[in-house]
A and B are shown apart, each in its own frame.
Chain A
Amino acid sequence: MNKSIWLRELRRRTNSWFIVTMLGAIIIVMPVAYVILSFFQPTSENWQHIKEFLLADYIKGSLLLVGSVGFLSTVIGLTLAWIVAAYEFPLRKQFKWLLILPLAIPPYIAAYTYSTMTSYTGIIQSYFRNHLDYQFTPGTIEIMSMRGAIFVLTLFLYPYVYMITLHYFEKQSSTYIESAKTLGLNGFQLFFRLVLPIARPAIIAGAMLIIFEVLSDYGVASFFGVRTISTAIFQTWFGMYDIDAAMRLAAWLLIIILGVFMLERFLRKRRKYDTNVTQSRPLARKKLRGLSAWATTLVCLATFFAAFLIPFIQLIHWTLKTYEKVWRADFFSLMANSLFAAFIGALIISFFAILAARTINLYPSMSSNLLARVMTSGYAVPGAVVAIGVLALFITLDEKLAFLYPKLLGVESGTLVLSLSIAMLITGYVIRFMAQGFNAVESGYTKIPPSYREASFLLGRGLTYTFWKVEFPLLRGSILIGFALAFLEIMKELPLTLLLRPFNFDTLATRTYQYAIDERIYEAAPSSLLLICLSILSVILILRFEEK
C-alpha cells in the first residue's frame, strides 16, 4: 500500500468515536502500567523488609491457595457437569440450575457464616453438645486458617467450571460421545479417554476464572488469616502507608497472573478444539435406575446443601434475630452509597463498552482486537492491584495538579482533591468491571449483520445517525444486560472498595465485612442476605443471556 493511500485511510478512521474509544483504553491501561513500572523505581526500606522476611510466604500462600482451590473446584465442577449432562436421575432438571446458585454467595460472606457455624458456640457443635451429649475435640470440624479458605473458596467457586463445561457437554459434545460409544467405550472409560480430553478447553476456561477469583480474593484470606499477596497489599498500604511497596507486591501478583496465562497457552500447544459441527444434536442422556439414580441425586443434593442452602438458611435465621437493630437510617445510607456508586460506575462502563465494541465491529483488525483485549483485561487483574494502580495514579495526579487547586477550588495548597474523591473509587470499578459491560455489548454486536449498517451508509446516513437509529434499538437488550451485570458486580465488590473509598464512605459490602471481622456476625446477616439476593439476580441474568 503506498503512502498516500495509507494517509487516506488514517484520515478516514480518525473520527470522534475512535478518539473517545482510545481515551477509554488509555484510562484502563494506565493504572496497570503504573503498577508494572514500579519494578523500575528505587526500592524503599519497607520493601527490603518485606522482600527479606515476608514475600516468599505471601507467594507461597497465594500459590497454595490457587493450586488447591483450582484443582478441587475443577474436579467438583467437572464431575457435577458430566453427571447432569450425561445421566437422567430424579430432580436432574432442578439441579441443573440449583448447582449454579453457590456463585451468588460472595465467598467472604460464606467464610464468616461457615466459620461461625462450625465454631464452639455455632449451631453444629452446640447441637451435638446439647442434644447428643457429644463433645468434639477442638479443631476437628472448625473451619479456620488455610484449610477453611480452601474449603470455602472451593465450595463457592466450582460453578464456574460447572457452568462452562456443562454448556460444552450439552451443546457440542454429542457427535464425539456418540461415536465413542459406537466404538465400545462406556462409563469411566468414556469419561477418562474421551470426555476429559475433549472438554479440556472448556475446563481450562472455567479453571482460569476460578484462579482469577482466588488471586483476587481478599475477604476470605484475610478473615482466615491466610497470608497471600492480596492481603499483603492491604497490610502494606493500611499498615505502613507505603504505596511503593504495595505497588511492588501488586506487580508480583501480576507476574503470577501472567504465568497462569502462559501456562494456559503452553497447555493448549498446537491443539485445535473448535468443533466443525455447528448444529450438533443435544447429548442423549442415559437413564439411571434404582440405587445409582438415588445416589446421584444425593450427591447433587449434598453439594447444593453445603454450597448454598445451609449458609443461606443460617443467614436468614440470623437476620430474623437482628434485623430490627440493623434496619436503621444508617442502613439506608449504606444502600444509597452502594446504589449510587454502582449506578455511576455501570453507566460509564456501558458508555465505553458501546464505543469500544462499535470500533471493533466497524474496523476489525489486529489493532482493534488488541483494543478488545485491553478493554477486558480488568477481569483478570485482582481488585487490589487495580486499586493500588488507581491510588498511585491519583496521588501522582494530585501532586502534579497541586498548584492549580488553591486558585481553582480555593483550598489550601497541599490538599489532596482527586485522591480523596469518589472519582477514584469509580475509576477503579470501571477498570475492574469493564469486561462485564463490554462482553455483553460485543456479543450483541455480533448478532447484528454488518449489512444493516452498510445499508444505512448507502442510504446516505452517517456513523452517528446509523448508531442511534439502527444499531442502538437492536442492541438495547445487550446493553441493559451489560449494565446490570456490571452494576451487580460493583455492588458486591469488596477489596477495591475498601482500598479506594473516600473517608467515611461505606457500602453494603464494606459494612458487611466490617461487622464480620469485628465478630458481630449476626449484624452482618441482613446486608449479607441482601447482597446474596442481588447476586441471585445477576446469576439469573447471566443464565438468560447464555440461553440467547
Chain B
Amino acid sequence: MFVQIQNLSFHYSRKQNPVIDHFSLSIEQGEIVGIVGASGSGKSTLLRLLAGLEDPTGGSIELDGRLIVGDRTYIEAEKRGVGMVFQNYALFPHLTVCENICFGLHKLKRSERKERLGEMLELVQLQEFAKRYPHELSGGQQQRVALARALAPAPSILLMDEPFSNLDTNLKSLIRMEVRDILQKANITCLFVSHDQADVDAICDRTIYIDCATYVGAEKETVSV
C-alpha cells in the first residue's frame, strides 16, 4: 500500500472528545480518494495530520514505505514531500504567480527550476498570467495556481481541502473537470476532502464517508466521470 494509516487518533484538548478516533485507511498509488463528511467530522483534520500540520495523539502513518508519524517518529511537514491545496488557497499575496509556483523548488538547479515552472504553467494553462499577483486573478485561476504550486515539487501525494468551496456554483462543474484533467495528467495519488457529494463524484475513484469523530467504514466505489 502506498499510504497506510493505522489507528490514528487526535483530540484538541484532553477535555474534549477525540476528533479522530482509531482511524485506519490505505490508499494505493495513483488512486484519487475522496472523503465526504459533515463539517466538524474531522475530515480536514485528517488531511492536516497526514501533512504534518497537526500532531496525532496516537497511531501511525506510513507514506511510500516510510514511517512519517509513529510513537517515536515525527517527520516535520517540510520533510514529508506532501503537497496540499488549501481551502483558501493560501497563495502568498506578496509574490507573483511564478514566484508562488517556484517557492518549493529550492532543491532544483536554476535551469531545472525554470523548466519545471514552464511545465506547471502549461499544465494549468496560466502562461500569460505568470507575472500577476494573486489578487489580480479570478477564483478559478487562483485555484489553478495553488494546484500548480502544490504539484511543482513533485510530491508523493496531493491533499486537497475543500478546494471548490470558494467558487461560484455556475463555475464549479467546469472547474471540477479541469482539476480532474490536471490530476490525471499529473498522474498523482490524491486525497480529496469535501462536504459536497457532487465534487467527489466528479473527481474521485473511491469515496470514504466519515461521520463525527469515528470512522464508520462505509466505503463504496464511485463511478468516475
Residues of B within 8 A of A329 (CB): none
Partner among A454, A460, A462 whose Cβ is within 8 Å of the Cβ of B53:
A454
Q: Pick from B52, B78, B82, B90: contact of A452, CB below 8 A.
A: B90
> Interface 1/0s, chain B 87-100, versus A by CB < 8 A?
11010111000000
Closest Cβ neighbor of B57 among chain A residues: A1
A8 and B72 in contact, given A454-B77, A458-B78 (Cβ under 8 angstroms): yes
One of A2, A455, A469 near B84 (C-beta < 8 A): A455
Q: Report Cα–Cα, A8/B76, bound state, in Å.
A: 11
Check A458/B77 contact, CB under 8 A, given A4-B71, A4-B72, A9-B55: yes
Are A451 and B74 in contact (CB-based, < 8 A)?
no
B153 touches A459 (CB 8 A): yes
A474 lies within 8 A of chain B by Cβ:
yes
Contact B106 A455 (CB under 8 A): no
Contact B103 A456 (CB under 8 A): yes
Q: Is the CB of B83 within 8 A of A458?
A: yes
Residues of chain A with a CB closer than 8 A to B84's CB: 454-455, 458
The DSSP consensus for interface residues of chain B is loop
What's the least CB distance linking B7 to chain A, in Å? 13
Q: Which residue of B lies closest to A13 (CB)?
A: B55
Query: C-beta contact mask, A442-483 vs B, less than 8 Å → 1, else 0?
Result: 000000010110111111111000000110011000000000
In the complex, A132 has a CB within 8 A of chain B: no
Interface string of A1-43 (1 = CB under 8 A from B): 1101101110010000000000000000000000000000000
Is B144 interfacial (CB-CB < 8 Å)? no
Contact of A462 with B78 in the complex, beta carbons under 8 Å: yes
Contacts of A459 in B (CB 8 A): 78, 83, 103-104, 149-150, 152-153
| A2-B71, A455-B84 known; A460+B93 contact, CB < 8 A | no
B-chain residues with CB within 8 Å of residue A2 when the two chains form the complex: 58, 71
A4 to B51 alpha-carbon distance, docked (Å) = 21
Is the C-beta of B107 less than 8 angstroms from some C-beta in chain A?
yes
Q: How far is the CA of A470 from the CA of B94 in the complex (A)?
A: 8
- A482–chain B nearest beta-carbon distance, Å: 19
Contact A461 B90 (CB under 8 A): no
Chain A's closest residue to B149 (CB) is A459
Interface readout for B192-216 with A: 1 if CB under 8 Å, 0 if not?
Answer: 0000000000000000000000000
**B93 A474 Cβ-Cβ under 8 A:** yes
Q: How far is the CB of B127 from chain A (nearest CB, A)?
A: 21
A-B contact count (CB 8 A): 86
Kindly report which residue of chain A lies nearest to residue B51, judged by CB atoms. Answer: A458
**Contact A461 to B88, CB < 8 A, known contacts A12-B76, A454-B77:** no
Residues A458 and B72 in contact, CB atoms below 8 Å apart: no
List of A residues within 8 angstroms of B88 by Cβ = 449, 451
CB distance from B92 to the nearest CB of A (A): 6
Q: A121-151 CB contact bits vs B (8 Å, 1 = yes)?
A: 0000000000000000000000000000000
Interface size class of B (residues with CB under 8 A): 35 or more
Q: Assess whether B76 is in contact with A470, with CB atoms less than 8 Å apart.
A: no
B13 shortest CB reach to chain A, Å:
10
**Complex CA distance for A7 and B72, rounded to whole angstroms:** 8
Residue tally, chain A, CB below 8 Å to B:
24
Q: How far is the CA of A397 from the CA of B89 in the complex (A)?
A: 52
B78 and A473 within 8 A (CB): no
- Given A8-B73, A451-B86, A474-B93, does the pair A457, B55 have CB atoms closer than 8 Å? no
Chain A residues in 8 Å Cβ range of B103: 456, 459, 461, 469
Shortest Cβ distance from residue A142 to the other chain B in the assembled complex, whole angstroms: 59
Q: Indicate whether A460 sits within 8 Å of B72 (C-beta atoms), given known contacts A1-B57, A452-B92, A455-B90.
A: no
Chain B residue contacts of A460, Cβ below 8 A: 78-79, 81, 104, 106-107, 153
Complex: A456 Cα to B104 Cα, angstroms: 7
A455 touches B72 (CB 8 A): no
Chain B residues closer than 8 Å to A456, beta-carbon distance: 78, 92, 103
A5 touches B58 (CB 8 A): yes
Contact of A461 with B74 in the complex, beta carbons under 8 Å: no
- Known: A5-B58, A459-B149. Contact between A454 and B90, CB under 8 A? yes
What is the chain B residue whose CB lies nearest that of A473? B94
Which residues on A sit within 8 Å (CB–CB) of B76?
12, 457, 462
Residues of A within 8 A of B79 (CB): 460
Please, how many angstroms separate the alpha-carbon atoms of A458 and B90 in the complex? 12
Question: In the complex, what residue of chain A is closest to B104 when comparing beta carbons?
Answer: A459
Question: Which residues on the A side are within 8 Å of B74 (C-beta)?
Answer: 8-9, 12
- Distance (Å) between the CB of B165 and the closest chain A CB? 14
A387 to B99, CA, bound (A): 49
Q: Could you jot down 19 A-B contacts, CB within 8 Å?
A: A2-B58, A4-B72, A5-B57, A5-B71, A12-B55, A451-B87, A454-B51, A454-B86, A455-B149, A456-B78, A457-B76, A458-B83, A458-B104, A459-B78, A460-B78, A461-B106, A462-B78, A470-B92, A474-B94
9 closest A-B pairs by CB: A459-B104, A451-B90, A457-B77, A455-B90, A451-B86, A457-B78, A473-B94, A4-B71, A458-B84
Beyond the given A2-B71, A456-B103, A457-B76, please list 4 additional residue pairs across the A-B interface where CB-CB is below 8 A.
A2-B58, A457-B78, A458-B104, A462-B76
